[in-house]
Chains A and B, each alone.
Chain A
Amino acid sequence: MNILVCIKQVPGTTEVNIDEETGVLLRNGVPSKMNPYDLYALECSLRLKKHYGGSVAVISMGPPQAEAIIKEAYMMGVDEGYLLTDMAFAGSDVYATAYALAQAIKTLPDVDCIICGMMTTDGDTAQVGPEIAEHLNIPHASYIKEIHEVHSDHIEVTMDMDKYAAEMKIKFPALLTVTSTIGTPRLPSYILGKKTEDKIVNRITLKDLNDQDPDHYGITGSPTQVIDIFPPDHTQISTTWEGTSKEIASNLADDLIHRKIVMR
């Protein structure tokens, strides 16, 4: 089975700050890392390869520095890595990101399965995977918690929804997003790191894609626009309720209802 894993470079911490005057995201000095949820997608793929054979490749869209996470994927045992990078992609929202990735995936050798992490820690949207699948016109299933068996033309999985779990058969080619119950990610190997030190990361740019119209990518290709970013209201609640038991009980009951902890 040939697998492609979509990975993303994210800030090393979610503790980011905003310059209150300019509204600019202060990311200076914060080191980057691979999106932690992508590690589960990689682990899952490498285990499938061990069991069923085939290959595992990774693709990432980002600036040239994102090469670092592809090198890291090599150190985990990934066979091939692609970095989709072009100034034309700057400022992409979910739609434009998924479109660019889908365009790039169409230029790669055919894969049976695309596996993504369930979300990223910077955007928190969990949308890119399903949108890639739509742009590629292949079925997708989110929140896969277990893979049971791989057949020549389909895969058997369990999808974990809020209120139920569904055992399903999905025809190839397919896209899955996996949860953290899929298996503990391995650490990058020093030996593999030495071996893959000079292994190249394949670059894909706009001119390699079928659709080379720059208006379909980046800010102009993005239906959503960020009007403004601002820090959340972090006012720490610190309230003392004193008085008669009845008053305190009443404060508590009102607050529980107001916060929709108790529904009425």
Chain B
Amino acid sequence: MAIIEIHQQQGKDLEEIAEVCPFDAITIIEDSLVITEACKMCKVCIKQYPEIFSLEEETSRSVLTDRYKGIAVIAEHHEGDLHPVTLELIGKARELGAPLGYRISVLIIGYEVGTLAEELLEYGVDTVVLYDHKALKDMLIEPYTNIIEEFIEEYRPSTVLVGGTSIGRSLAPRAAARVHTGLTADCTVLTMQPNGDLDQIRPAFGGNIMAHIRTPNHRPQFATVRCKIFDSPKKVEVKTGQIITKRPTVQQLKSRIEISSIHIKKKITSIEDAEILVAAGRAIRTPADMALIEKFAEAIGGMVAGTRPLIESGLIDPRRQIGLSGRTVKPKVIITCGISGSVQFVAGMKGSELIYAINTDPEASIFGLAHYRLVGDLYEIIPQCISQLQRGL
């Protein structure tokens, strides 16, 4: 939106001035300087001849930032529950918006989701905009995009936050393109400038590079964020927000996609798909020992896996064996319990993102790989850890 304005000067060597542009984007037409489409906005001309060239962007920008205020979150829900990422985004929106006095609005689309709209108010949302209709029970890309478009036109949020879920990653780009604005996917850090500009940081190249991105001349600024990046907010003591119920029009509900059937996924049953694993090794000898491991896995929401000796002793199902002769796993977190760390075992789990190892032997080879080395007796550490986690709940 920024343009370079030319203040024509008489009696100057225009050719010499035009020479300043490294992209040859300044030409002379009928004794006047003209900037062509080759301009890359490098602003070298402004630096060299500030009396002739100036950057004109303030008017369009102030119009934008005046017209678009507040932060919106697009809610996601499944089987009658709000998605945790929605609450995390509300928490972040409140934090970002508070210094600017921005109001927080949430758009919720679905069928019979009025109770969820009420629940959203408990997290300090100012306005919940509810579209409740039978045809909106499941995510349909066209009606959902139409509704987001109407919501943006009516509420003009400066920033729109969407969960980086499979639904959000399909819906957010479609909606952003509809309203002709930018979208930054999978942000890991979000901060806001006093003028409402959103500073977005996201990984690229498989996490090998971080990019800092802004959407300076377009509103709203769309960003998606994956689950568990931000903290869940605390509920507010007094709900002050309001719910605005909207009716979708027949035109908005038109869809060229028809859902024939929905299959709810069962809980993950294979260790390869699990995000959190508790792996048991030779220090586990009896079914009672095993019960402790299972209790621990349950307490942290993980799955139990094991080394080959435990499979052979029949304590663990063979499908849960990690290692060269078993499965290869790459969970987000693995806690190895009483595992020394044989080459065969390590080959099956070295791709894990975060490794906690519990072992009595400070020289155990698993400690060479672990991010956190817990030197001690698992039969003392684990029960105390479980009780501490449960106390905290």
Contact surface of A with B, Cβ cutoff 8 Å: 11, 14-18, 25, 93-95, 98, 121-131, 133-135, 138-143, 156, 160-171, 174, 214-215, 219-220, 222-232, 236-242, 245-246, 248-253, 255-257, 259-264
Contacts and interface: CB of A to CB of B under 8 A. Distances in A.
B257 interface: yes
B165 to A, nearest CB: 5
B212 A249 contact: no
B213 A16 contact: no
Contact of B213 (A167, A224, A241): A224
8 residue pairs, one from A and one from B, having the closest CB atoms: A223-B182, A245-B380, A249-B384, A14-B206, A224-B182, A127-B173, A134-B177, A142-B170
A221 B231 CA distance: 35
Nearest to A129: B173
A255 B372 contact: yes
B367 to A, nearest CB: 8
A75 B185 CA distance: 33
B138 A140 contact: no
Contacts of A16: 205, 208-209
Interface in B366-382: 367, 371-377, 380-382
Given A94-B183, A168-B257, A219-B41, 11 more contacts: A125-B173, A126-B169, A131-B176, A134-B145, A142-B169, A142-B170, A164-B263, A165-B263, A242-B375, A250-B384, A250-B385
19 contacts: A15-B208, A16-B205, A16-B209, A18-B209, A133-B174, A160-B166, A162-B167, A171-B257, A214-B37, A220-B41, A224-B183, A229-B204, A238-B371, A241-B373, A249-B380, A253-B389, A253-B392, A261-B332, A263-B232
Contacts of B347: none
B207 interface: yes
B265 A130 contact: no
Given A141-B170, A223-B218, A245 B145 contact: no
A259 B354 contact: yes
A167 B182 contact: no
B42 to A, nearest CB: 11
B178 A134 contact: yes
A25 B377 contact: no
A106 B373 CA distance: 59
A262 B138 contact: no
Interface in B157-187: 165-167, 169-174, 176-178, 180-186
Contacts of B216: 225
**Which bucket holds chain B's interface residue count?**
35 or more
A166 B183 CA distance: 26
Contacts of A98: 173, 177
B70 to A, nearest CB: 19
Interface string B241-262: 0000000000000011111111
Contacts of B183: 94-95, 127, 224
Contacts of B385: 249-250, 252-253, 256
Most buried by B among A128, A131, A236: A131
Contacts of A93: 182
B80 interface: no
Contact of B356 (A122, A238, A252): A252
Most buried by B among A15, A219, A261: A261
Contact of A164 (B177, B262, B333): B262
B309 to A, nearest CB: 24
A229 B210 contact: yes
B60 to A, nearest CB: 13
A124 B377 contact: no
B392 A248 contact: no
A150 to B, nearest CB: 15
Contact of A231 (B209, B332, B382): B209
Nearest to B172: A127
A248 B213 contact: no
B371 A237 contact: yes
Contact of B381 (A126, A140, A228, A245): A245
B205 A163 contact: no
Contact of B376 (A134, A214, A245, A262): A245
A208 B209 CA distance: 35
A62 B393 CA distance: 53
A165 B142 contact: no
Given A143-B166, A223-B182, A228-B212, A163 B373 contact: no
Given A124-B185, A141-B141, A163 B78 contact: yes
A55 to B, nearest CB: 23
Nearest to A25: B209
B381 A168 contact: no
A260 B209 CA distance: 24
B366 to A, nearest CB: 13
A262 B381 contact: no
A230 B142 contact: no
Contacts of B141: 130, 139-141
Contact of A248 (B178, B206, B265, B374): B374
B269 to A, nearest CB: 15
